[in-house]
A and B are shown apart, each in its own frame.
Chain A
Amino acid sequence: MEVDDCDDGARWSGRWNHLQKILERNGPFVHPDFEPSPDILDFMLNSCKVLVVGAGGLGCELLKDLSLMGLRHIHVIDMDTIDLSNLNRQFLFRQCDIGKPKAEVAASFINKRVKGSKTFSHFCRIQDHDSSFYKQFHIVVCGLDSIVARRWINGMLISLLEYDEDGNLDPSSLIPLVDGGTEGFKGNARVILPGMNACMDCTLDLYPPQVNFPMCTIAHTPRQPEHCIEYVKIFQWEKEKPFGDIAIDGDDPDHIKWICKAASTRADEYGIQGVNYRLTQGVIKRIIPAVASTNAVIAAACANEVFKLATSCSIPLNNYMVFNDTNGVYTYTFEAERNEQCLACNNTPRNLSFKPDALLREVVDFLCQDNSLQMKSPGLTTTIEGLNKTLYMKNIPSLEAATRPNLSKSLKDLGIVDGQEVIVADVTTPNSLRFKIKFNDDVTSS
């Protein structure tokens, strides 16, 4: 088939032969909506817009995969710059690119190698764009290492959903989210149809909150080299300020060396062995092992789903695949279920039961510690007698100072009544979440 294309060198005979067999022929396993036609490739090449979130291990692979699968209008967003330790897997980067923005280097490499590609880069945070930006895409793919960022994108795509008066979802407002994640030899790929199947927040229990060492172990009874490193990080750095009044930079070898030395001294005092540079950096940066192969596998599984969603040439993954190749090669594919309680994708406020004399601090702690919420720094507002009232706001220093005393007040004293609606904002979502405080007289709050 012919594709209108004025770019030099982007058209040659046979270029899309492989894809055309898939897109221009009917088969027994296609999606019911699929009608083979040259128009599908035309849509891929000239209209379909995809956003790749993250230009790291998965992002580099995704850009290659999607471009070679016929997608040419790709945007890629990443706030990071290139580090030497990226080069063992982020194959669009070279030694001379160290320090440059990942998104920019990745996009220009793809545009150079895959003729006709118009990859557009965004060297910024995902929060720097608003809904008008995210709205323009047909599909969003995430290759991130941060759960908070994933949840934010998830929340953004849910906020774009539109419903008619009868509450029916307008399908044209739905942007599918394909998400991949890796850790060492393990990974997962999933397809989220916002508002239709399990969203990121529905399955938060799949990402257990990070476990920290107990403070008393770090301070008084260290047993492992990690305990000694944490001690230096938490207590000694602040006290001794070896490089002045600055935060630890995990990429600064001088910082890591200093911490390593101090931790070794502490370890020696207790007869603990095993503090070394690599472990120190691993603990300080919370490094997750990573290898080229797993990134390739998971990104490819995601790209395959993007291809299916864009073309209907096969039925998309429903909806979650896990991968592990430590012992043989293992995959498991299953349908993650929606959580009726999920605040991100259900329109109804969730009930929270507390005693009337529970402190506001307990509510805040609950929002952070509950497995299905896992908030980071929730801000709480409510309406009392028709007036907006900020209960607690951590992210704005002046407001934080003004509302901090509220943490020690009881809900009753703050004027909260049974069934009161509380609006919560958090970095894990671009949307405000609604909760209803239900008073109970039980001993335990849940």
Chain B
Amino acid sequence: SIAKMGEKEKKYDRQLRLWGDHGQQVLERARICLINVTATSTEILKNLILPGVGSFLILDGGRISGEDAGNNFFLDPSAIGQLKAKVATELLLELNPDVKGDYTEEDLNQLLDRNPQFFQCFTVIIASSLDVVTHKKLAALLWKHNIPLVTCYSYGFIGYMRIIVREHCVVESHPDNAHEDLRLLDPFPELVEYIDSIDLEKMDKKQHSHVPYLVILYKFLQAWKNEHGGQAPKNWKEKKLFKEKVLQGVRINEHGMQEDEENFEEASKQVNTALVESKIPENLQQIFNDAKCCNISENSTNFWILANGLKQFVQNNDKSSLPLRGSLPDMFSDSESYVKLQNIYKTKAKQDIDLLTSYIRDFGAVNGRLSDQEIKRFCRNASFLQVVRSRSLSEEYENASQSILDGLISEGDSDAIWYVMLRCVEQFYTNFSRYPGVKADDIDIDVTRLKNCVQELTRSWGVPGLVEAMSDDYVQEICRVGAAEIHSVASYMGGVAAQEVIKLITAQYVPIVGVYIYNGLKSTSVSLNV
């Protein structure tokens, strides 16, 4: 009902300003599977339920222990001994009546062996505290079906998150400091025609002091080009000179004094940001070279169909210009000139969208797969497209990333060391079926055993000097925390992982690729392309 829609819009108002109604719609259709209830994993789920994810299913056959109820906000101590998944589901569902949730106590390994299609209906799968064998099995299955897996847990003061996604395409990456798309250096005919129709000399005082800086810069640019063999100001020195010329354009009144013309000042300030050459950014060039962009078929996703259309657009035009974004920054101006200029950009952007649409007629536009909105959004974001691909878990384990190893040796106290330590903890668990230092009495012997794991792992990587570069302190710290999950770290990771999941669902903003490590000892963190 309409009333309900209004309520929802109000409830989600603060986040709709970040990912829009269309982002919210996708979020509300998403289905999440959460494997294993821990303080970290229920915090992730909490931060997905609050913004209104569609539904979740918790998979965990374990029962609540005293310590589970001690660090988890969504396990009730009066329910100790009951199913973790059941109690967590009930308490989490209280957070948002819009969200559906359920649980199952089925065994993960049995599901993987006997009913692998169980996982195929989910948008994203989140897992916590998996042993490495199960983790690899799950990751391999999801890799095959291109379902993103987010693994996240807390270990003492350290938080770990791994995103495994075969391919994730982002149209709306929302860059923090995007340059404007003004085309002053390679103007389109309609812009030239409009600016040429303006005569600054003939303007009265008021008009002259309200000309948009875009017009001023264009006029002075033509003058400059005439004096410089058709070249625009290129380097810092030339641009400085050009700025001075622009400032000399300020009207002189009958007393020989310069008028107060804010628009000319603004023009000179905007020289560096406004005079940018159109070119295809690196990320986009890679997308154009991608096999998926070159070979389009009925089975291609909308993103690749659009990317192919974009590539044709660039090739068939001047090879360096993308579809015009069509937005104009605010600038000092009278309303009429500004709106006129704005409409010129808007109209041209619309033409570019139509042109791109004509290139994809065969696959996308005509059979209704792509909405006008989607094509428009793609064109507006053309220079910010991102394709994110992580390595698979098996690649990570079979072939350690050289850049991380190099970094570890050159930079002894990098948080990447914690990644190595957590890999060793996995090995320790495989060897002894328990975590190091869980019992205080075992700490000393576990330190020795964990050191052996470190040696084994680094030997298998074939990096001499890595063990020596690593201080024993890290082994000591890992053993003393005894796999403790403290709530501050769990909650931090719960926030980080939930947002990465939302990025994967909405295809807005850019997720990390690989591993993220949080170090609560120092309040630092690092992303590793493992």
A residues near B (Cβ < 8 Å) are 9, 12-19, 21-22, 24-29, 61, 64-65, 68-69, 84-85, 87-89, 91, 94-95, 113-115, 184-185, 189, 217, 221-224, 270-272, 278, 281-282, 287-301, 303-305, 307, 314-315, 317, 321, 324-331, 333
Q: Min CB distance, B438 to chain A, in Å?
A: 8
A272 touching B476, Cβ below 8 Å: no
Chain B residues with CB below 8 A from A115, complex form? 77
Given A221-B333, A296-B491, A321-B523, A287 contacting B50 (CB threshold 8 A): no
* Residue among A18, A27, A95, A291 with most chain B CB within 10 A: A18
Given A223-B338, A291-B499, A296-B491, A12 contacting B80 (CB threshold 8 A): yes
Say whether B510 faces chain A, with CB atoms less than 8 Å apart: yes
Contact of B66 among A15, A25, A293 (CB under 8 A): A15
Say whether B101 faces chain A, with CB atoms less than 8 Å apart: no
Distance of A304 Cα from B97 Cα, bound (Å): 31
Say whether B524 faces chain A, with CB atoms less than 8 Å apart: yes
Chain B residues with CB below 8 A from A85, complex form? 10-11, 13-14
Closest-by-CB residue of B relative to A114 is: B73
Distance of A390 Cα from B447 Cα, bound (Å): 70
Distance of A287 Cα from B18 Cα, bound (Å): 12
A301 touching B50, Cβ below 8 Å: no
- 9 A-B residue pairs with Cβ-Cβ distance under 8 Å, sorted by A, are A21-B437, A28-B473, A85-B10, A113-B76, A184-B18, A292-B15, A304-B489, A304-B520, A326-B176
Chain B residues with CB below 8 A from A68, complex form? 39, 70-73, 487
Distance of A44 Cα from B100 Cα, bound (Å): 38
B492 touching A17, Cβ below 8 Å: no
Say whether B498 faces chain A, with CB atoms less than 8 Å apart: yes
B15 touching A304, Cβ below 8 Å: no
Given A272-B335, A289-B18, A224 contacting B443 (CB threshold 8 A): no
B residues near A (Cβ < 8 Å) are 7, 9-18, 39, 43, 46-47, 50-52, 65-67, 69-73, 76-78, 80, 94-97, 156-157, 173-176, 210, 330-336, 338-339, 343, 437, 440, 443, 472-473, 476-477, 480-482, 484-492, 494-496, 498-500, 502, 509-512, 516, 520-525, 527
Distance of A45 Cα from B200 Cα, bound (Å): 75
* Residue among B10, B96, B343, B495 with most chain A CB within 10 A: B495
* Residue among A65, A94, A289, A327 with most chain B CB within 10 A: A327
A290 touching B488, Cβ below 8 Å: no
Distance of A315 Cα from B52 Cα, bound (Å): 38
Closest-by-CB residue of B relative to A290 is: B14
Known: A18-B70, A21-B484. 7 other contacts (CB 8 A): A17-B484, A18-B487, A22-B486, A28-B476, A224-B330, A278-B9, A298-B495
Given A84-B10, A291-B18, A26 contacting B480 (CB threshold 8 A): yes
Distance of A14 Cα from B67 Cα, bound (Å): 5
Chain B residues with CB below 8 A from A21, complex form? 156, 437, 480-482, 484
B491 touching A278, Cβ below 8 Å: no
Chain B residues with CB below 8 A from A222, complex form? 335
A305 touching B523, Cβ below 8 Å: yes
A64 touching B491, Cβ below 8 Å: yes
Distance of A348 Cα from B50 Cα, bound (Å): 49
Distance of A104 Cα from B157 Cα, bound (Å): 32
Q: Min CB distance, B476 to chain A, in Å?
A: 5
Q: Min CB distance, A33 to chain B, in Å?
A: 16
Closest-by-CB residue of A relative to B503 is: A325
Distance of A176 Cα from B262 Cα, bound (Å): 47
B339 touching A25, Cβ below 8 Å: no
Distance of A282 Cα from B17 Cα, bound (Å): 9
B47 touching A292, Cβ below 8 Å: yes
Contact of B335 among A28, A61, A223, A329 (CB under 8 A): A223
A12 touching B69, Cβ below 8 Å: yes
Given A13-B66, A296-B494, A303-B491, A278 contacting B473 (CB threshold 8 A): no
Chain B residues with CB below 8 A from A296, complex form? 43, 46-47, 491-492, 494-495, 498
The 6 closest A-B pairs by CB, nearest first: A14-B66, A296-B495, A297-B495, A300-B492, A300-B491, A28-B473
Distance of A291 Cα from B330 Cα, bound (Å): 28
Q: Min CB distance, A307 to chain B, in Å?
A: 6
Contact of B339 among A270, A297, A327 (CB under 8 A): A270
Distance of A28 Cα from B496 Cα, bound (Å): 27
Q: Min CB distance, A17 to chain B, in Å?
A: 4
Closest-by-CB residue of B relative to A17 is: B67
Closest-by-CB residue of A relative to B10 is: A84
A271 touching B495, Cβ below 8 Å: no
A327 touching B173, Cβ below 8 Å: yes
Distance of A293 Cα from B498 Cα, bound (Å): 6
Contact of B480 among A25, A95, A304, A317 (CB under 8 A): A25
Q: Min CB distance, A7 to chain B, in Å?
A: 12
Distance of A181 Cα from B490 Cα, bound (Å): 19
Distance of A297 Cα from B493 Cα, bound (Å): 7
Q: Min CB distance, A13 to chain B, in Å?
A: 5
Chain A residues with CB below 8 A from B14, complex form? 85, 88-89, 287-291
Chain B residues with CB below 8 A from A270, complex form? 335-336, 339
* Residue among B76, B488, B527 with most chain A CB within 10 A: B488
B11 touching A325, Cβ below 8 Å: no
Chain B residues with CB below 8 A from A281, complex form? 13
Distance of A270 Cα from B47 Cα, bound (Å): 43
Distance of A296 Cα from B516 Cα, bound (Å): 17
Contact of A289 among B17, B67, B476 (CB under 8 A): B17
Distance of A288 Cα from B13 Cα, bound (Å): 10
B473 touching A326, Cβ below 8 Å: no
Contact of B495 among A27, A278, A300 (CB under 8 A): A300
Given A299-B491, A300-B491, A304-B488, A91 contacting B50 (CB threshold 8 A): yes
Q: Min CB distance, B509 to chain A, in Å?
A: 5
Distance of A424 Cα from B519 Cα, bound (Å): 43
Distance of A113 Cα from B72 Cα, bound (Å): 10
Q: Min CB distance, A53 to chain B, in Å?
A: 18
Given A84-B11, A221-B334, A314-B521, A297 contacting B486 (CB threshold 8 A): no
Distance of A204 Cα from B464 Cα, bound (Å): 49
Chain B residues with CB below 8 A from A290, complex form? 14-15
Closest-by-CB residue of B relative to A64 is: B73
B523 touching A271, Cβ below 8 Å: no
Closest-by-CB residue of A relative to B76 is: A113
Distance of A217 Cα from B333 Cα, bound (Å): 9
A278 touching B16, Cβ below 8 Å: yes
Distance of A278 Cα from B13 Cα, bound (Å): 8
Closest-by-CB residue of A relative to B487 is: A68
Closest-by-CB residue of A relative to B6 is: A253
Chain B residues with CB below 8 A from A22, complex form? 156, 481, 484, 486
Chain A residues with CB below 8 A from B510, complex form? 326-328
B18 touching A329, Cβ below 8 Å: no
A65 touching B477, Cβ below 8 Å: no
Chain B residues with CB below 8 A from A293, complex form? 47, 495-496, 498-499, 502
Chain B residues with CB below 8 A from A65, complex form? 487-488, 491
Q: Min CB distance, A254 to chain B, in Å?
A: 14
Q: Min CB distance, A317 to chain B, in Å?
A: 4
Closest-by-CB residue of A relative to B68 is: A14
Q: Min CB distance, A386 to chain B, in Å?
A: 48
Chain B residues with CB below 8 A from A14, complex form? 65-67, 70
Q: Min CB distance, A301 to chain B, in Å?
A: 6
Q: Min CB distance, A432 to chain B, in Å?
A: 35
Closest-by-CB residue of B relative to A289 is: B17
Chain A residues with CB below 8 A from B13, complex form? 85, 88, 278, 281, 287
A328 touching B512, Cβ below 8 Å: yes
Distance of A314 Cα from B523 Cα, bound (Å): 11
Closest-by-CB residue of B relative to A294 is: B495
Distance of A435 Cα from B229 Cα, bound (Å): 59
